[in-house]
Amino acid sequence: MDHLAPPSSEPLTTPLHQEHEALGASFTDFGGWLMPVRYTSDLAEHHAVRRAAGLFDISHMGEILVDGDEAPAFLDRALAGAISAIPVGRARYTMILAEDGGIIDDLIVYRLADHEFLVIANAGNTRAVTRALTDRVAGFDAIVEDQSEDHALLALQGPAAEWILSETPGISELSPALPEIRNYGWGSASFEGEPLLLARTGYTGEDGFELLVPVGQAAALWRALLAAGEAHGLVPAGLAARDTLRLEAGMPLYGHELSRDVVPAQAGLGRVIPAGKTGFVGEHEPRPGAPVLVGLAAEGRRAGRAGYGVYRGDERVGEITSGALSPTLGHPIALALVDPDAADAPDLAIDIRGTRLPASVTALPFYRRNS
């Protein structure tokens, strides 16, 4: 996700905006969209996802269809990953890069059929991704179509997610069965007679599903999931909980850890480019001395926030990109871009409004679910 707003002066709203208002949500402008930041409390919603389940509206995300006989070869050229190697029924995390290797966006690509792919882009980056794909498709027998206005996207996340889906009325014709959909796999179904795609993906570090449904069915599916999940502890959850959940899971956020000024290896994501892959847009030389992403853990209750400096002694060696007091772990955590020679330093500190808070580099993710 990112903070690049569309040209409109007024923020956009999702098809579920009235549902959020009815639930008493507080809203914030995010990536040019008016999105629910919380319904009750950030902590309650965060803990619900870790212990039971939370339901998120992520309809601000973009859905871009790529289809055609040469779609696999085109996406291998246009994106960083080995897209043609994705089996039908599976998905892959990848990136679309600028010519110099900077990150235009991080994406999830689903292979729907031999020559048909669904690209999920981050909110304010959808136009940039569509434009880049459209520019790069020249010479390939493939089409690029932004279908974002046709779909709503919901995320059901937490250990009870599969139970809740199995008990949700209106969902039928599921193939394969829910237990057979593995992580980064997807299945097809119908909801009240309309097509429904269920993907075992998410942005919280928990088990869960993301559900793609036609706009006209979004409100009915939202209500059906909340009703089915009430007995399991399901709550609607907003962006505040989503942010602390993804931070605990060590997942990068566009506009914070990822940007046009960062190449994948700096963010610890060099793996998105397969070993030996050449000839793709954004192929680049290493950047010696460029800042690298690390996880930082500290004691106490005061957390470093985005933009706060990271120091080794009196030398500023980096900057926090995301930080919070971890609701699950009970101590401050942060992601930071730091000088490479400070990435293993044992004696770093975060400057919090003039006070230096000792911090140690720690392996990511900060939190990992048991199963």
pLDDT in tens, 273-315: 999 999 999 999 989 999 999 999 999 999 999 999 999 999 9
Q: What pLDDT is recorded for position 370?
A: 82
Alpha-helix runs per DSSP H in the chain: 17-22, 42-51, 71-78, 126-136, 161-166, 218-229, 239-248
Q: Which residues lie closer than 8 Å to 116 by C-beta, 6 or more apart?
A: 65, 66, 67, 71
The number of beta carbons lying within 10 Å of the beta carbon of residue 142 is 22
> Are 74 and 85 in contact, with CB atoms under 8 Å apart?
no
Helix (DSSP H) and strand (DSSP E) numbers for the chain: 7, 20
Look at the block and give the residue holding tokens 């847009």: 281
- pTM given for the model: 0.95
pLDDT band for position 7 (50/70/90)? very low
For the chain, the domains span 17-60+149-248, 286-362
C-alpha to C-alpha distance for 182 and 198, rounded to whole angstroms: 11
C-alpha to C-alpha distance for 286 and 266, rounded to whole angstroms: 9
Record the tokens describing residue 10, joined without a space: 């007024």
Look at the block and give the residue holding tokens 């506009």: 255
Q: What pLDDT is recorded for position 371?
A: 53
Given 3.40.630.10, 3.30.1950.10, 3.40.50.300, 2.40.30.110, which CATH number is that of 286-362? 2.40.30.110
Given 2.60.120.560, 3.40.630.30, 2.60.40.10, 3.30.1360.120, which CATH number is that of 17-60+149-248? 3.30.1360.120
Q: Residue type for 367, please?
A: Y
Look at the block and give the residue holding tokens 């800042």: 291
pLDDT band for position 1 (50/70/90)? very low
Q: What pLDDT is recorded for position 143?
A: 98
Q: What is the mean pLDDT of residues 146-169?
A: 98
pLDDT at 187 over 80: yes
With vertex at residue 369, the alpha carbon angle to CA 335 and CA 366, rounded to the nearest 5 degrees, is: 20
| Residue 176 preceded by cis peptide, ω within 30 | yes
Dihedral angle, C-alpha 279, 285, 291, 292, nearest 10 °: 50
Closest-CA residue to 238 (of 3, 22, 51, 55): 55
